[in-house]
Structure 1
């Protein structure tokens, strides 16, 4: 476990992308099989253990150390697994608190795979007695499914590819035809075996992405404009025998949207936006909040599919049959997509319409007036652009609509993760009701500078009025100007509202809390 725990420590405390890639590549070259395969699965989110609940970890540590000490330490550290790893007492027969190498990552994975929730605490405790603090932290993160070390699945695959001088897009093509611990992948990477054959597996192709528009204008003779819809970007991959749906990160989300997967029986690869039909939009796209009800579910009931019917608004076509259309210009692919969509179920698939505008100034006016619940902004696509992986300058642009803002009052704060674990950096904020009650309307942990973070952290520490585990309630005196993309009705929140992409725009030290915005005022912003 020591090499793996050292890798996690390095990833948490390394800021640069190149630094993280170097750490992953070095581990993949040095670690033995199958440890490195299980590590790659963990880093890419393909290792689904979750054998123990957080409450069980709390019970385990309270039985071994003073409960008051644990609660005080957890409040300071902010992370349950990190607190338990640091406080875990040395076993009586353990001469020193070191990882002696007798417990490997593959042994841990095998043990956790083979036990149920009732047996998990005792098994975890036995393994923790043989690990140092870093090893215990890694073990607890694996066991709870909470492995967050500041990297994406794509970055982990890029690190693997860099280790063996491979093309990450080639690795991506093979990825979904293989399973942990990826023995054929490593054998090919090291030159011991032929390249694995994905065969007729419906595998993921990397998405083409857009740069934010920074120019004052573009020539609409060269660029086509269409709406940027506020759902999730997905890829539909069909072989004629099987269909899978992939998110932008390459995650297989077919189980969350089986109705879409069943509806596509063709042999093609399509790019589009996954949306939910709105009850009050005449069947048009609802807000992201509606789609969120289905995201991340491993199984979806018939009632859920009926209450939140999903459909895909198609943007592009990458492959049709065995023909790879990606080298073709956007205009040619658009024609093929328009022909293809005629054969698809109109209840599940439609075409993202182009925005007709004679010039950029007119397009700007159209964008400024768009406050549809499901519109994020405008996409600009160069008419002669091929479909290429990643972000390529001048080919596609995203032009998001200007954010909405509201003055809110900080109510609660919680410590962050990784390099922010020592700071209160996650803030819950609220607005006033007509009766003078402050209700939470959102949570944000971005938008501020490092200096502003230090100031906010000091404010939380000196203005705490109550504590709830790792959460601090603060005096209701600080106003934060919050920027957000849109706001929607929500049944899950007491205020009845949910913000989309909230972030801190300004710290309003000049404004009294009594003058912050109201719930009624926010409701008027709902489209």
Structure 2
């Protein structure tokens, strides 16, 4: 398969907002892809090389750029092999060798292919919004039910390998995916609810649990081998030794637990989220002096040889209580007074509650509304599109953020507002240093950035607006914090923003 075929498909995807058309483009391309190039093609089109981020930035690539080739000559297999070699090159002279490999690759690419590779390698394509469309395209191309693809994707954690299985072996190959200890699953997520009364009325028989202001973790154990993963499936075991030691001491031989972790102060209240996240990058030496993390588990996906994904939540939570004991998140089944649990959670310094249907299986993402989160204030996870230079006291700092919501149909983020409110002096200094590292271009007032940073925004609501392309604008938006535990695929959609319009009950979020 020629790389130019992938580039053409990428351009076609960008040129339409129709989800049906995007799915058709992708399905046609996948149907004609050789088996040994399919996984790489899927990886490229969903915005991340099969090797993941290979540590090459925009400035480095710019220095390596050469005159483009006149006609297409690169195959997907050649590009994938070169990126694989770049990713594994290390040791003395590795920087020079990596540069040589990339310079040679770019010299053989046309202008359009160079542009595609630049955006692929620097993360500008990595918006994640195409994942849902790609799942549907894989199902169409392989003539299998889309739910079978979704489930296999949840279990594999990787869309390229899921696509390869679907095209090579159909439903049987997809159904062969099982929980594998040491291979993280894509997590199940909660959808927002307007109120506690709405959530409990919608779901019926429920569990009501504290919603913690922590970092999502997934823990795998077999014997004494323990692995800890983030919500983006990154292995952080080396940075959170106390969590691994704790799980190693639980009364089981094998287990997969879903939960959150956070740092607590001496009074047992949660410390700022940034303090918890700082542990995910700490060295062993730093851990000795760092704040200890405390886990709170809320689901058990596997226990001592038995997979539990498909059993009702009430059974998974029974298994959880037997193995996790005091480390189960606070909450109750079928509580007589859900409001008392919400009040207790808020009083303890947490965000609110999560209401869960007790008969629901575990399903990655926000499939349906089996889990509903209730918080007393509106918050949205949005991507940063740009940032303006400040004035007055903020002169010299990058201040006013341009905010975008995710397009669920795979298009670029949709701008929904700006804000500089809530930014501390510390955050202003951080933005001024960090955001230029994500820069794509700038003008006299604004630095425009790749949409890969997620920021949590508190707001009073939204209103209709002709100023922004999505037809809505944020009201009284203020920055709560950046979310390094999330990537752009975790950002809220434009549908979620629109549902905050007064009286709007139609958008799916």
| TM-score normalised by L of structure 1 | 0.62
Residue 397 of structure 1 deviates from its aligned partner by 1.9
Residue 420 (structure 2) aligns with: 429
Residue 242 of structure 1 deviates from its aligned partner by 4.0
1: distance between equivalents of 2:62 and 2:19? 34
How do residues 65-80 of structure 1 correspond to structure 2 at under 5 angstroms? none
Residue 287 (structure 1) aligns with: 272
1: distance between equivalents of 2:122 and 2:419? 25
Contact 1:200 1:239 in 2 (8 A): no
Residue 113 of structure 1 deviates from its aligned partner by 3.5
Residue 40 of structure 1 deviates from its aligned partner by 3.1
2: distance between equivalents of 1:415 and 1:331? 39
Compare CA radii of gyration and give the structure with the larger one: 1
Contact 1:275 1:288 in 2 (8 A): no
Matched, 1:139 2:134: no
Q: Deviations over 1:7-39 (max 9, x none)?
A: 333444444555444444333222224332223
Contact 1:245 1:261 in 2 (8 A): yes
Matched, 1:53 2:52: no
Which among 219, 237, 242 is matched to residue 236 of structure 1?
219
Residue 8 (structure 1) aligns with: 10
Contact 2:206 2:358 in 1 (8 A): yes
Q: Deviations over 1:172-206 (max 9, x none)?
A: 36636x99878973674369989877696433445
How do residues 304-343 of structure 1 correspond to structure 2 at under 5 angstroms? 304=287, 306-342=289-325
Distance 1:16 1:229, change over 3 A: farther
Residue 399 of structure 1 deviates from its aligned partner by 0.9
| TM-score normalised by L of structure 2 | 0.64
2: distance between equivalents of 1:191 and 1:395? 26
**3-state secondary structure, aligned to 1:293:** helix
Q: Deviations over 1:189-239 (max 9, x none)?
A: 369989877696433445444332246443698333211112233332333
Q: Deviations over 1:326-379 (max 9, x none)?
A: 45443443333222124xxx7xxx111116964355556x27x82655x22211
Distance 1:50 1:259, change over 3 A: same
How do residues 180-329 of structure 1 correspond to structure 2 at under 5 angstroms? 185=165, 188-189=168-169, 201-214=181-194, 216-217=197-198, 218=200, 222-240=205-223, 242-250=225-233, 252-254=235-237, 256-257=239-240, 259-265=242-248, 266-278=252-264, 280-282=265-267, 284-295=269-280, 297=281, 300-304=283-287, 306-329=289-312
1: distance between equivalents of 2:263 and 2:179? 35
Distance 1:291 1:163, change over 3 A: farther
1: distance between equivalents of 2:137 and 2:30? 8
Residue 303 of structure 1 deviates from its aligned partner by 0.9
Q: Which runs of 5+ in 2 are unaligned?
A: 87-93, 381-387, 392-398, 432-453, 483-490, 498-509
2: distance between equivalents of 1:33 and 1:294? 41
Residue 160 of structure 1 deviates from its aligned partner by 3.3
Larger mean Cα displacement after TM superposition, 304-313 or 216-225: 216-225
Which among 327, 337, 352 is matched to residue 329 of structure 2?
352
Residue 451 (structure 1) aligns with: 466
Distance 1:328 1:257, change over 3 A: same
Residue 138 (structure 2) aligns with: 160
Distance 1:314 1:53, change over 3 A: same
Aligned residues: 417
Contact 2:299 2:317 in 1 (8 A): yes
Distance 1:323 1:130, change over 3 A: closer
2: distance between equivalents of 1:130 and 1:281? 60
